[in-house]
Amino acid sequence: MQEKQIEQAYELASQRYSTLGVQVDAAINKLASVAISLHCWQGDDVGGFENISDEIGGGLAVTGNYPGKARTPDELRSDLEKAYSLIPGRHRLNLHASYGEFNGPVDRDQIGPEHFQGWIDWAREQQISLDFNPTYFAHEKANDGFTLAHSDAGIRQFWVEHGIACRKIGAVMGAAQETACVTNFWVPDGYKDTPASRLRPRQWLAESLDTIFAENIDPQLNLDAVECKLFGLGSESYVVGSHEFYLGYAITRKKLLCLDAGHFHPTEVISDKLSSVLMYLPEILLHVSRGVRWDSDHVVTLTDEVQAIAQELVRGDFLGRVHIGLDFFDASINRVGAWVIGTRNVLKALLIAMLEPTGQLMQLEKEGDFTARLALMEELKSMPFGAIWDYYCLKAGVPVGMDWLNDVKQYEKDVLSFRSDSPVII
Ligand code: RNT
Ligand code: ZN
């Protein structure tokens, strides 16, 4: 599409929005201020750089064998740079502890900020802020599906030390950037079959977490989040860290709750939970994902639910209190393409929400005119938001429409196709 056409379409679309009382340039400015935390693990199928051959485990399964996955930190950084260059705005990177640069075997309880210096330097150079995650899977001490809630005190202690080490790394990352690092705790702990005690592991999990969080860390540097889940592969009957467990934990311990869109019953949605949990928690973290049947991690598409999440964030004026991260892994398509599609969709959903005449909808609701409320909501679905999105991409200096795909295909030809499937030993 020609620049001129994009601008003309934008002008016409803006006029339509202004008849609804929507200020398009204000929406665009607002969208530009939103940072999405891209998850490093889409780039290499949750592999990490520990050079271990353990299965990922923890109920995480990545399917597909699309060629060209990143095998080293440098390859992953190069892939990320490509992805960021195709997404409008300035975004963040969410790293897992298993992605450190270890130069030899370093067990999880021994990791330190020095193993992430390469990432910190790169992030500063790219003007990207980092978020962090302890890795409670793909490890021999997690092979039976339990970590912080393990019945063995020694194993619990090992994982407690991992958690303590990770918060320190998060604080060092936070000190190197303008905003705090959000360190998110997710553990796989749970049973495939019916437990005799549902309580005991929950007591252990709370006790382990309390020990990890015992040291006060400046929230300007590091913020702790805890992520709940309903069930996983191998933990179908019982997950220790359920929604109720972590909601109570987050409120009583003043932690962020992480809501992953794929971690609930298939008909249960997190969009409806935001206004509830934000009544009791100052800040939360989102893992925007797409559940499909038993999988919780498909690439984010522009679904009704993603739009509903965005609407809630905008209508409730929650953007300053909600950290937005992504969580999906698809190895059946180009991995850079997966990041670009997923992130652009979250931004698109936010733009659609920002282009809504919320005041008018609320007024109709107040007056009890539910017919007009429904009519206006439906009318909004065919408003020309695509023209505004295209213009936003143009002004942000990233490809418009599907043009980004040419860049990804070229990158695949020039870079990804030279990577063999076997991992590089570093
Ligand atoms: C797993 C959780 C968790 C992971 C990442 C890799 O069910 O969603 O967030 O996906 O830590
Ligand atoms: Zn998640």
Question: Residue 183 CA: which ligand is closest?
Answer: 1
**Annotation says 186 is catalytic:** yes
Indicate if the alpha-carbon torsion angle 146, 152, 154, 157 is positive or negative. positive
Q: Indicate the pTM of the whole model.
A: 0.97
Residue among 163, 169, 204, 164 nearest 186 (CA): 163
**Mutation choice for ligand 1 from 108, 137, 256, 327, CB with most ligand atoms inside 8 A:** 327
Task: Classify residue 413 as exposed, middle or buried by CB count within 10 Å of its CB (0-12, 13-18, 19+).
Answer: exposed
**Mutation choice for ligand 1 from 286, 287, 323, CB with most ligand atoms inside 8 A:** 287
- Domain 31-341 sits in CATH 3.20.20.70: no
Q: Tell me, what's the pLDDT at 420?
A: 82
Please give the helix or strand (H or E) that residue 287 lies within, else none.
Answer: strand 284-288
Residue among 325, 286, 186 nearest 245 (CA): 186
| Nearest-5° Cα angle at 258, 204 to 125 | 115
Terminal Cα-to-Cα distance of the chain (whole angstroms): 44
Q: What is the pLDDT along the chain (426 residues), one digit of tens a residue?
A: 699 999 999 999 999 999 999 999 999 999 999 999 999 999 999 999 997 666 788 888 899 999 999 999 999 999 999 999 999 999 999 999 999 999 999 999 999 999 999 999 999 999 999 999 999 999 999 999 999 999 999 999 999 999 999 999 999 999 999 999 999 999 999 999 999 999 999 999 999 999 999 999 999 999 999 999 999 999 999 999 999 999 999 999 999 999 999 999 999 999 999 999 999 999 999 999 999 999 999 999 999 999 999 999 999 999 999 999 999 999 999 999 999 999 999 999 999 999 999 999 999 999 999 999 999 999 999 999 999 999 999 999 999 999 999 999 999 999 999 998 655 554
**Annotation says 295 is catalytic:** yes
Residue among 56, 82, 211, 73 nearest 135 (CA): 56
Task: Classify residue 55 as exposed, middle or buried by CB count within 10 Å of its CB (0-12, 13-18, 19+).
Answer: exposed
**Strands 256-260 and 222-227, sheet pairing:** parallel
Assess contact for 136 and 159: CB atoms under 8 A.
yes
Rounded to 5 degrees, what are φ and ψ at 119?
-70, -40
User: What separation in Å is there between the alpha carbon of 227 and the centre of ligand 2?
Assistant: 7
Alpha helices (runs of H) in 285-334, residue ranges in sequence order: 304-315
Residue spans of beta strands (DSSP E) within 261-304? 284-288, 290-292, 295-298
Q: Tell me, what's the pLDDT at 422?
A: 56
Query: CB of 255 closer than 6 A to ligand 1?
Result: no
Please give the helix or strand (H or E) that residue 54 lies within, else none.
Answer: none
Residue among 220, 301, 233 nearest 263 (CA): 233
Residue among 137, 113, 247 nearest 190 (CA): 137
